[in-house]
Each structure stands twice: as structure tokens, then as C-alpha cells.
Chains A and B, each alone.
Chain A
Amino acid sequence: MGIRFILMVNKQGQTRLAQYYEWLTLEERRALEGEIVRKCLARNEQQCSFVEQRNYKIVYRRYASLFFLVGVDNDENELAILEFIHLLVETMDRHFGNVCELDIMFHLEKAHFMLEEMVMNGCIVETSKANILTPVQLLEKT
């Protein structure tokens, strides 16, 4: 399975984007988000960007006010996921130009489209920025 979920949460703990690759009910999502956001926000810069949960790990990375949290299986390469987050941000950066929290808030669907191109069934399928952005840009033109 690899990636279980991708979350973007701001410093206040509000969810800005959530994508799950396994089905959870609304209550389960709420509980999970509450728990891990609390855990990750409490950590400081020096500590490592991985948190082990019951049977999965969270890899997180902070960009200004926005936290990117990725839940992965235990045998996943954490550093690679950390870099995947950065790739995602670079991609959004290229599309929005200096991406910020507001871009994601107001163009939620586009952020989702990019994610859809990059991750399917919990696997990273595309890492070329051009390939990721072409469909998104084509959609905009129509």
C-alpha cells in the first residue's frame, strides 16, 4: 500500500487538504487527524520528522505555516517520503508561483488534481513535474 494518507494542516490545526488511500469514516478521520496533528505540532525543529504511530508512521514537513503530513506503512523509506513532500511543494510552486496556504485553500481542486497524478493506490506513480502539470493546465484552458 505504501502511502495511507496525505494531509495538509496549518499551524492552528485546521485541515487544508486531506486525501486518504484507504477508507475511513468521518469520525475515524476526525479522530486520526486530531491525534496526529497534536503530536506533530508539538514537535520542534531539531527532532526528526518521523513519528511512529500504532502500525504506521507519519512523515511530516513544515513549510511556513503549513504542515504536510504523510502516513505511510512501516516498511516505507521515510527519507524518500520526506523528499516526495518537497517534490509536491515544488510542483505546486511551479504551478501557482510561490505557493502559499491561500493558494491551496482557494484552489483545492487543483491541489487534488496534482496529487491524483502523483499518487495512485497509495503508490508514487509520477515524479516528472511536466507530466504532472500538463493535464492540470489543459483542464484550466477548457
Chain B
Amino acid sequence: MKEYIIRLVYVEMLGHDASFGYIHAVKMIHDDSLLVKRTGYLAVTLFLNEDHDLIILIVNTIQKDLKSDNYLVVCAALNAVCKLINEETIPAVLPQIVELLAHPKEAVRKKAIMALHRFYQKSPSSVSHLVSNFRKRLCDNDPGVMGATLCPLFDLITNDVNSYKDLVISFVSILKQVAERRLPKAYDYHQMPAPFIQIKLLKILALLGSSDKQASENMYTVVGDIFRKCDSSSNIGNAVLYECICCVSSIYPNHKLLVSAADAISRFLKSDSHNLKYMGIDALGRLIKISPEIAEQHQLAVIDCLEDPDDTLKRKTFELLYKMTKSTNVEVIVDRMIDYMNSINDNHYKTEIASRCVELAEQFAPSNQWFIQTMNKVFEHAGDLVNIKVAHNLMRLIAEGFGEDDDTADSQLRSSAVESYLHILGEPKLPSVFLQVICWVLGEYGTADGKYSASYITGKLCDVAEAYSNDETVKAYAVTALMKIYAFEIAAGRKVDMLPECHSLMEEFLASHSTDLQQRAYELQAVIGLDAHAVESILPSDASCEDIEVDKALSFLNDYIQESIEKGAQPYIPESERTGMLNISNFRNQDHHEASSHGLRFEAYELPKQTVQARIPPASLASTELVPVPEAMYPRESYQTTTVPSVSSDAASTELKLRLDGVQKRWGRQTHFPSTSTSNSTSLKTVNGITQVDGSNTANSRTRETYDSRKQVEISPEKQKLAASLFGGPSKTEKKSATGHKSSKPSSHMVKSHAPKSSMEVASEKTSVQQPPDLLDFGEPTVRSTAPSLDPFKDLEGLLEPTTQVSSAVNHSSTAAVTKSPDIMGLYTETTAGAHHKDSDILSGLSKPPMTNMVGGTTTMQVAQSSKGPNLKDSLEKDALVRQIGVTPSSQNPNLFKDILG
């Protein structure tokens, strides 16, 4: 019989249904033979879940077996208890299990504890009075029972840390004993004393010590001991080390431990084993929250992992990058993420990456321009996976611009958006969300800068509506955009002639099954028929940001009412004062006050129109920009009204407030851009001093990174560049706070390098002429003048050509640099002091980066090599000289360097 049951287990394991035999397994647990009984229990736990009908038949047997004299029978029953007892049957076995906690056999005590643990998982309330038992069992003299007790305690502590702070001392002393090999030899694994218990204890300590200084202080010694004792040549030793790092990064930080943790991480990252690298990356991600600077040491290892063909490692690295994103490196990271996103086809993970990109872009975007470009990319590649809110955000951003009084920049941004969208429309298949954004932007700003004619834009919009004819939302957006463009044309006094395809489109929509589309089409017709003045007040140009004041009291009708009353009409009686009309008035109330919310509407579209502002996007568009044909004067008046004290009922006025609140919240400036994003407008007017800081900082961060690269000569220049852009951040921000300059500068710097527009380019060129010291920042300024590009590597390639031009500029500007020397020197020495142990390399570092930036520039490399000086002493001397002179040498112009140094 036993054999048959095992065959059944096999059958199930291979994926076939074996439910016909379940009952035989249930029968088997009654068997007298111990082996058969246990096999029966095993089969039942594998076949049944806790809500199966047959469980009823088993509970009785379990109760009987729990009382058995043979401890093996009790163990078998307890195993089944862990798997099969559901919430309702807990009381049936609970008293017996509590008794078993004091059983002489440690195996039984252990399983009884685990049974209680199971009950706790199922329904915490059922065992809440027994929690003290877990504490008691922690002091059990059998290490197995103690080890098992850690599992329920871990769960308990996870849920409620504060009640268990008193146990810190006990846990620490247990861990100490374990680490000192006080446990029986049987628990050793590969010469490590009870590593699994150690790991569990460290997990618990991490929970208890998190943001609790006092508790953490108790742990420092023992964790430090383990760091020392762990044998890092075996896997299990590394597992314990990793757990230590997790613990250290979770508890109140201690400098010494952080150093040991950083050491361990660097060992992980340097190892050849991919497993260890993975653990190292993960640990780095944890530790980076506490001490961001350690990432710099490992930049190259991280980049190796990023380029590793192993997908798991790659993903983990992206997770790390996500954690260490700052405004300085966000561009590189997000670019990388988008590239990776395009290369995978796992929708689940793609969605995750897309949302991370969006999150990072919103949080750290150095400029709105960049934000829009990034969003375009995300939409293009993963549009259907992105939340619609993101699209609304993008529209809002384009409409609001920088939020500062820099109108030219705003309109530049918009026209660049329009241009890029017109370009993107050429792509064959675009996601619906993205098309909505495109249509909206084209409608709003397509003709704003006069670059494109209305007929061109409308033609494009018609194409969109036709090409995506099964997507009603997109079509609706397209129609509204058409209407806006025609309205702007009319308002500007130009004659409008509809394109033939637009006509046919309208005819189609007028007969559309979708009432929304129909409505929009009719509105379009109506708007076109109006005169310029009316149209302008209906759809004012670029007014999407203006809040519309709504006169809920309809005060503009007062004159009319007065007139009517004089003519003998009945004055209005508020509905609440009327009798016998309760039901109806209720309805009407709703109708009036919630007309634009979700309730059923009893009247057609007239009422809500005036209450909503013109720039609400898709969902409510129906009620936004429409103008009811018969009452075309309404909205116009409502625009002009200065709100008159509300005459209507209370309900109306509170309602009014509420709604405006909502509007504010939605459209007010939100937290999307931390201070960095606002730096954009200032970036064009960079002040001299600040640019200098920028330059020297970059130089400094480069030094550090080339220090690494000197040790590993074979690393490719691209990698180094990537490392620079990823890790340059930390040192920059660090130094910046030291020098006390404006913190948003580095980002403005980046902005320029990406700005694709001609005027930006001009501006940056100007700055480079006017402010020579800026040129000391070798790599980046040249990027500015290269053609617009989205890929940093392309920028790099572009570097080759402009260098000559720049070096001449350096020459020309050298005098200016010298006159400014005190200033620069101050900054320079200050920043180098931060990296004193690398001082010796600063010179070589300074001369090296440009050369590494050049793809295949072997000849320059040699020049740079020779100018660098062969040994350390040499470069030290030169370094000192450089400081005296106050000019940073640049390999782009080795001659200058030689001249100054003699």
C-alpha cells in the first residue's frame, strides 16, 4: 500500500490529477506501522490543502497521535499540524501542542514551537496569549530548539519591534556563544559554527537595531568579532559576512563596522564568482544609503557587472543604480535603463523599469527639456505599460514651462517639443498614451511659434486620427487639437480653410457612434462658424495654465433676472423652501452641484461647461473646451467675471471651494522637481565664479576616477567615461558643500551638454568665450558645441573634432586664467585637500581624461603620456608647481603647459 501511495505522489508531482487516491492516503495515517503512518502523513500533506474536505477526517487522528507515547508518532502528527490545520481547527489541537512544549524529547519541543509558529502565521490572535512561550524556548538547553525558536521570534519582531527590545542582550550573548563555538560540533558546517543560526540571529539584530542607537551599541562588538572570524574563502563564510553587512547597514551606523563592511564588499566585488559579485552589488546597494562615498571605489566593478551578459547580475546592478541616482548622474542612468528596457521583452520587468525611469526622471530631472525627451523615449518604447498620469504630468510640464518668468525659454521648450513630436509621428506604430500627448501638444502649441503652418499641423493631426482609427481617445484628442488650431487661426484673423481630409474626417465623426467624438466634431463646426472675437474668448491662445474663475452664483444673469422680475416674473424660491417637491429637487440639486462629477447627468452638456478650466486633459475634456452652440456667450462672460459674493445656497459655495481645491492640487506646482530642475533658466546666465567651481570639481572627480583606472590599464575608455558620469556625482556634491556654492550647478552644466537647440548652443559658446576658466573643465565643454545627441557615447565621438578649436581657445584665454589665479587656486587646493591621498595622481589624472575620452586617439595618448611624467615624484613636483601657478594643465594644450612650467 505504501508503494502505491508513493506512486500517487509521483503522479501528482508530474502534474496529473490523483485526487481519486486521496482517501487511501487518509486511511494510511491510521495504520499501526510507524513507517506506513508517517508515509501516510507525508502523502496527506502533499495532496491536501488546509481547506480540503478530507481534513475533517484527519483532525481526529492527529489529536490521537499527539497523545502517543512514541515520540516519532508525535513528530509525524506535528508535521501534519504545520501543514493541514486551518484557522477553525486550531483550538482543537492547541492545548495539546502547548503541553508538548515541555516534552522531554527536543525534537518534539522543536516541532511544537514550529506548530505554534504556523498558528501565528495563520491567525496571530489565536496564539497571542502564548507568545511568552517563544521567549521561554529561546533559553531551551537544546540548541536545535533554540534555533527553531528564532523563526517565530523573527516574525514577531518584524511585526512589532518595540516589545522585544529587552531581548537584544540575550540575542547578542547567544550570537557570541555561537561565534565562539560553544555549540555542539554537529552544528558546524564547513568549519563554521552553526552558520544558519548566526544568519538568523543577525537578521533579528538588524531588525532590533534599526534606528536604535542604544540597542545597536550592544551589538557592535559581536558583529565586529564575526567580521573578523568569518572565513571568506568558503561560501558559507561569505553568506555570514553578507548578513553582517546587511545588519551593519540596518543598525545605527558605526564607523569601524562600516569600514569592515566596505572591505568585505570590495572582496565580493573583486571575486571571480558571479554569485559573490551579485551579493556584493546587493550589499553595496544597502550600504550606499549610509555611506554614499564607498560607491566610488567600486565604480569599475559595478560597470563590469552592468555589462555582464548575465541577466540576473544586470538587473541587480540596475537596482543599485536606481538607488544611487542623483541629479548629477540621472541622465546616464536613465539612458542606460531605457536601453535595457528596449532589449528585454519580459513585460512585468519592463513595466517596472519604465516606472523607475519615470520616477527618477521626475525626481532628478536636470532640465525640463531633458525630462520631456526622456519621457518621449519611455513612451515610445513602453507606452502602453506606463501609467496615464505620467502623460498628464508631461502635458502639464510643457504647458507650465519652467514656472519662472522666462518666456523665451518656455516657448523654446514648446517648439522643441512640437518639433520632436512631428518627427516622432513619422514612426509607424506608437502607443495610445503617447499619441494623446502628441495631439495635445500639437493642438496647443503646434502653430505657436509660427514655424509650421496650420494646414501642415492639421494635416498631421488628420493623419493620426485616420491611422489610429480604432482608438477613440486618440481620435478625440486629435479633434480637439484641430479645433484649437482653427480657433487660434481665426483669432489671429487669418482665413481658415479646412483641408479636404479634415472635412471627410469631420463628416465621419459627426456620424460617429461615440457621443464624445460626435460632440467634439459638432463643437469644431460651431467654433469655426464664429467670429474672431468670440473664438478668442472661447479658446484663448496658450491659456491652459490660467485658472479659470467660475462664477457659481451666475451673477452675470442678475440683470436679466432683475429685468424679468420687473416684467412680472415669479422670483426664484430656493428648492429647500419649496414643499412637495423633495424628490425632484434632490435630483436637481445633484444635477446642479455635481454636474461635472461622476453622477448621472440628467441634462445634456450645457451646464458643466463653464465650470471647468480649459486645460484639463483627456477624461474631462468633453466638458472643457466645448462651447455650446446656443449659448456661446456664457463662457465668455464667465471668464471675465470677478467673483461676486455668492448668492446661492451654502451647498453651492462649499462645493465651489471643494472643487477649486481639487484643481489646485492637481495643477499646482507639485513635488516633481526638486530644486535642481529649476536651475535650468539660470544655466543660461552662468556666473563666472560658479562655472569655475564646476570646472575644478569635475577635474577633481576625474582625478579620482583615473586613479582607479591607472591600476587597471586595460579598461576601455568608454567604461571610464561611463564611470565618470555615474560616479562623478558623489565627489561633486561632496566638494560643493565644502566650497559652499550653489548646489544646482552641476546639473545646469549637464543641461547644456544635452541641449539640442541652436540658441542654447550659442549661449554656451558665449560662455566659453567670456569665461575662460570654464575651459579647464576639459571634456565637457566641448560636448556642448557638438551636434545635438541623445547618446553620451556619440557625444564622445564628437569630441574628436572640436578639440582643436577648443585648445586654441585655451591659448587665447590663458592670460585671463592667470589673472584670476588666486581665486582658482583657492578652490583648487581646497578640493584637492579632500582627496589628499590621491594627490600624487592629480596631475596625471588631469591630463589623462581627455585622452581617454577620445575613441582611438592613440597619438594624443602618447603625448599625454609623455607630459604626465614617468614617476610619482615627478608628478608630485609638477603638481606643486601647478598649484603655485594656479593653472590646471590640460593635455589638449600640452604646449601651454610646457610654457608655464618652463
Contact = CB atoms under 8 A, between A and B. Distances in A.
A33 B15 CA distance: 10
Contact of A140 (B35, B39, B184): B35
A87 B274 CA distance: 21
A87 B195 CA distance: 11
A35 to B, nearest CB: 11
A87 B196 CA distance: 11
Interface in B308-326: 309-310, 312-313, 315-316
A54 B14 contact: no
A93 interface: no
B278 A130 contact: no
Contacts of B118: 120-121
A49 B147 contact: no
Given A80-B196, A131-B144, A48 B186 contact: no
Interface string A13-26: 01111110001001
* Most chain A CB neighbours (cut-off 10 Å) among B15, B34, B82, B274: B15
A139 B118 CA distance: 25
Interface stretch (B168-176, B232-240, B689-697, B699-707): B232-240
Given A50-B278, A79-B238, A126-B148, A113 B243 contact: no
Interface string B145-185: 00110010000000000000000000000000000000010
Given A121-B121, A126-B147, A142 B34 contact: yes
Nearest to A131: B144
B655 to A, nearest CB: 43
A123 B15 CA distance: 26
B237 to A, nearest CB: 9
A79 B279 contact: yes
Contact of A124 (B9, B42, B196): B196
A108 interface: yes
B195 A121 contact: no
Nearest to B149: A125
A95 interface: no
Contacts of A17: 13
A115 B238 CA distance: 24
B117 interface: yes
Contacts of B236: 79-80, 83
A39 to B, nearest CB: 10
Interface residues of B, number: 67
A113 B38 CA distance: 9
B576 interface: no
* Most chain A CB neighbours (cut-off 10 Å) among B13, B111, B199, B316: B13
Interface string A28-50: 01100100000000000011111
Given A54-B348, A130-B186, A79 B239 contact: yes
Contacts of B15: 15, 26, 29-30, 33
B275 A127 contact: no
Contacts of B190: 83
Given A23-B50, A126-B144, A109 B42 contact: yes
Contacts of B12: 26
B736 to A, nearest CB: 35
A51 B346 CA distance: 14
A116 interface: yes
Contacts of B114: 120-121, 123, 125
A30 B15 CA distance: 6
Given A79-B242, A112-B42, A48 B277 contact: yes
Contacts of A26: 12, 15, 17
B456 interface: no
Interface string B274-300: 111111000000000000000000000
B196 A84 contact: yes
A26 B48 CA distance: 11
Nearest to B145: A125
Interface in A79-138: 79-80, 82-84, 86-87, 108-109, 112-113, 116, 120-121, 123-131, 134-135, 138
Nearest to B45: A116
Given A23-B50, A125-B114, A108 B313 contact: no
Given A26-B15, A126-B148, A83 B189 contact: yes
Nearest to B236: A83
B498 interface: no
25 contacts: A47-B274, A50-B278, A50-B312, A52-B315, A78-B275, A79-B235, A80-B195, A80-B196, A80-B239, A80-B243, A83-B189, A83-B195, A83-B235, A87-B189, A120-B79, A120-B118, A120-B148, A125-B110, A125-B114, A125-B147, A126-B147, A126-B148, A127-B187, A128-B187, A139-B34
Closest 3 CB pairs of A and B: A79-B239, A48-B274, A123-B151
Given A26-B12, A77-B199, 12 more contacts: A15-B13, A19-B46, A47-B310, A48-B275, A49-B274, A108-B6, A113-B42, A120-B148, A123-B114, A126-B110, A131-B144, A134-B107
